[in-house]
Structure 1
């Protein structure tokens, strides 16, 4: 009996000791956690004092939960004014991000120091969780395979070189012929079916890059390639806008990205289209190459360089996909914005018509050869790029490859550094009354013209070594199409059943990185019978010229059947 009681006492003592050990371990862990929290927050505050001004961050979460749900570029513009600094620091979790809100500072940091700000920061959502890995080291277990997200290095230079073979500034001049023909068809299609103007813009932009990439045009607005490309690009654009909700909370708490994906089914289910897009673009490139490897097109260039540069399937897919990213969704969105501007600001149209009538006349449409003489049309196009830039926060963020300094403030290596194009293009100093569409801003000796840090007068396509690869293609095609649409039509607000104009909202835009106006109705009225005849004649000729690029894609038909 005594033995049993002794065992019971020993057991109780052991349990008591275990509880004490657990309690002590819990206290130690809590103490270590608190110590880590204090040390880490001290690090944040110390760094905060050295960096450009901005809201004081909270421990761990930074200032993330101060973000608005939508369109944070307005918020960063307001913070810049609040702190009286064109460059501000905003903390996403435990990491600082730098936001540049005026043209002068963007030029000083991202253009004049292009060699420093040539890399990318870590992007958990846009790169890691979408399997667009960022390593520039070809020997890495996660080799970089996308120019857009890749850290700066030799592998990035390879991708950039290959991209220039497709859409470099010198190369795009060779595309003027079919780009002009596709532009003629925009006017032709809208003449016959004005209600579907957005679809015709999308078809035009997608078809141009499809010819460049795969020697096959997109002839119908019902082609599923259009909806797939636009959807993939819009999905990508949604994944890089700072936010306080999922999926962007992965940026605030990167450790969450290591948890089982089954815990976040709503996010990864939505990512299926992004991953499907990678297969889609490879399928397009592979089919074009197999059809005729001797043809001159971007897909054949990719496979030609495959062995030399060790291009795997992900590389070819991303390079082909970036071609669409450089010239489809962005170009069509710019044309929709142009149409909205015409409806909202009809007073700018008569001067455009006067110049076009004087230089071009009514018996043919304008072409690239007229560009040098069409000074007001060129200013009009620049104002479209400025007024509602598609890449509203300047595309993907930059990151310095080494510690840097601006105006006495520190910007550490790897810091997420973003140009807020909205704020840059709506700075009252550079662009008085910035929400008014006013091409006179870009006219030589114009009353509203102001000095600007670069020759173009806008920063729509980004900066430095990370400038948009498709800039030349977009500028060339946008000029052609806007000049032709202004020549062809009086673009006006739609009328209601009582014959009254339906107002348009110049602030009604989508929420993603590549924004475009929400749907709105409008009228396209041909400016003269002679112009109608010219549109018809040139449209028929364009169809004949482009017939060499016609053809069905069996691989793509099969792809969509598999992925219904």
Structure 2
């Protein structure tokens, strides 16, 4: 027995040594990729900033399906519309899993974050519940919420135009909180909203640091004591703060639902679902929290990219305003009923999503749940699978001069965003920003309406022009400077937003003041009564 105890550490050490020795190598039957080093594979080549540019470069060098060896893990990168359609869409039963994310999901999220859940019964339950909020029928019912928040955003562009990005972020966040939990964010400085944005930024930053990645790529590291792995304690602390925030939101919505005082929202339905399904308050909190994260950042990031495009391509702005003036005229704001007759505005939205994709590398990798073969190459079980959105959206064979903002690419594309994503012809899909397969963003219908109202009404009301420096020279933003994280957008830039004429300015002011008076409590700035009856807008 004593001899066995003496030999055991040597055997364990030898096993670890040989495991490491063979780590980092690319098996011959895997898709090609950059040369590897022993043990670390391609880890030394992973960029710390602007990873999308390196991933695109590798796609041009190694082909539309290539592999990266990251320590003990394999990452397959899909960089063509055909590969995404063939694997993530057509084989979605195999490609809807997630890689194990010890820091991001286990520690930071308590295994509760829907975005990072594995493809199992629990995820399918959460997805089904979320679909009830975001399907095409439900999306139409939330238009009154969108109209109100849009009117406030337009008003704030008049009263505080220098806060363009914050006006847009408040718009998308307040809409999301109203749809999900029944309360709105009347100012950008709302403490609940700041906690949400700051918390998710902290989460993204932590999960993109070297230590967090190393724990995933070399799982044995997680057995080190805390003093040698401080990222573990930081992740636990972040989860504790985040869970407290999300539980607070959820329990308030639950209490209001049971008291019959909540606005019509998803939280109301989730209370009923919880009684039927029996999931915990913690899980309910993270279901609503996932929706808040997704809805608060993506729409605002796309609208901010649109603002930048209008600065860089003034001829597009003029053409769009001419279409709006022809269809709508100067006497009213655009509505959703105008959308079919405003193809150029619809094309601007599609081009904004393509030109500046928010989920630039597909947010979180998919994973394959069994060995698969594709075009002669093995895609091994549990490999991560990246939807290389940037490379596909920037593919010059799909979109000539891809860094040029050109809405006319879509002049003959009359598909909605969801219809385009489901098109069996991969070459006919407009862009890949919303993901693919069973993990595709369920909020496309809501986003499409928010983007149409945002783009059409801003162009109806305002001229968007460059700000000027102290010498009177225009300040032109660099479209290649993007924020880092799961969701990206252009780095903040100055912009001049001015009403097109006094008549439109007064109409924006009057529309907001009327909506504020008729719909909102004068003290709390919350809805006095739900604009929805049985899930549908009240009749005027």
Same topology, TM > 0.5: yes
Q: What is the correspondence of 1:152-191 to structure 2 with a 5 Å cutoff?
A: 152-191=119-158
The partner residue of 1:500 within 463, 470, 473 is 473
Structure 1 CA distance for aligned equivalents of residues 427 and 242 of structure 2: 36
Structure 1 CA distance for aligned equivalents of residues 402 and 276 of structure 2: 49
CA contact (8 A) 2:114 2:126 kept: yes
Partner of 1:364: 332
Partner of 1:93: 71
Q: Determine which structure has more spread, i.e. the larger CA radius of gyration.
A: 1
Structure 2 CA distance for aligned equivalents of residues 515 and 333 of structure 1: 7
Q: What is the correspondence of 1:271-350 to structure 2 with a 5 Å cutoff?
A: 272-293=237-258, 294=260, 295=262, 296-350=264-318
Partner of 1:80: 59
1:269 lines up with 2:247 in the alignment: no
Question: CA 1:268–1:507 in 2, change beyond 3 Å: closer, same or farther?
Answer: farther
Partner of 1:538: 511
1:230 lines up with 2:203 in the alignment: no
Structure 2 CA distance for aligned equivalents of residues 324 and 550 of structure 1: 24
CA contact (8 A) 2:396 2:402 kept: yes
Question: CA 1:306–1:502 in 2, change beyond 3 Å: closer, same or farther?
Answer: same
The partner residue of 1:430 within 383, 398, 401 is 398
Deviation at 1:372, TM superposition (A): 0.5
Structure 2 CA distance for aligned equivalents of residues 37 and 509 of structure 1: 36
CA contact (8 A) 2:359 2:486 kept: yes
The partner residue of 1:479 within 452, 455, 465 is 452
Residues 448-494 of structure 1: CA deviation (Å, up to 9, x unaligned): xxx97165511111001001122221121111111111111111110
Structure 1 CA distance for aligned equivalents of residues 197 and 236 of structure 2: 15
Partner of 1:49: 28
The partner residue of 2:381 within 407, 413, 419 is 413
CA contact (8 A) 1:215 1:549 kept: no
Residues 375-420 of structure 1: CA deviation (Å, up to 9, x unaligned): 0000001111111111111122111222211111111222100111
1:146 lines up with 2:146 in the alignment: no
Q: How high is the TM-score relative to the length of structure 2?
A: 0.89
Structure 2 CA distance for aligned equivalents of residues 82 and 30 of structure 1: 39
Q: What SS does the aligned partner of 2:294 have? A: helix
Deviation at 1:250, TM superposition (A): 1.6
Partner of 1:463: 436
Aligned length: 513
Deviation at 1:352, TM superposition (A): 0.1
Structure 2 CA distance for aligned equivalents of residues 199 and 267 of structure 1: 33
The partner residue of 2:108 within 130, 135, 138 is 130
* Gapped regions of structure 2 (runs ≥ 5): 415-422, 527-540
Question: CA 1:202–1:32 in 2, change beyond 3 Å: closer, same or farther?
Answer: closer
Deviation at 1:275, TM superposition (A): 3.4
Q: What SS does the aligned partner of 1:317 have? A: helix
Question: CA 1:459–1:166 in 2, change beyond 3 Å: closer, same or farther?
Answer: same
What do you get for the CA RMSD once the two structures are aligned?
2.7
* Gapped regions of structure 1 (runs ≥ 5): 1-17, 134-144, 554-564
Structure 2 CA distance for aligned equivalents of residues 457 and 216 of structure 1: 34
Structure 2 CA distance for aligned equivalents of residues 51 and 226 of structure 1: 45
Partner of 1:11: none
Structure 2 CA distance for aligned equivalents of residues 403 and 549 of structure 1: 60
Q: What SS does the aligned partner of 2:330 have? A: coil
Question: CA 1:444–1:436 in 2, change beyond 3 Å: closer, same or farther?
Answer: same
**Greater alpha carbon shift after TM alignment, 291-300 vs 250-259:** 291-300
Partner of 2:536: none
Q: How high is the TM-score relative to the length of structure 1?
A: 0.85
Deviation at 1:24, TM superposition (A): 9.3
Q: What is the correspondence of 1:520-535 to structure 2 with a 5 Å cutoff?
A: 520-535=493-508
1:375 lines up with 2:346 in the alignment: no
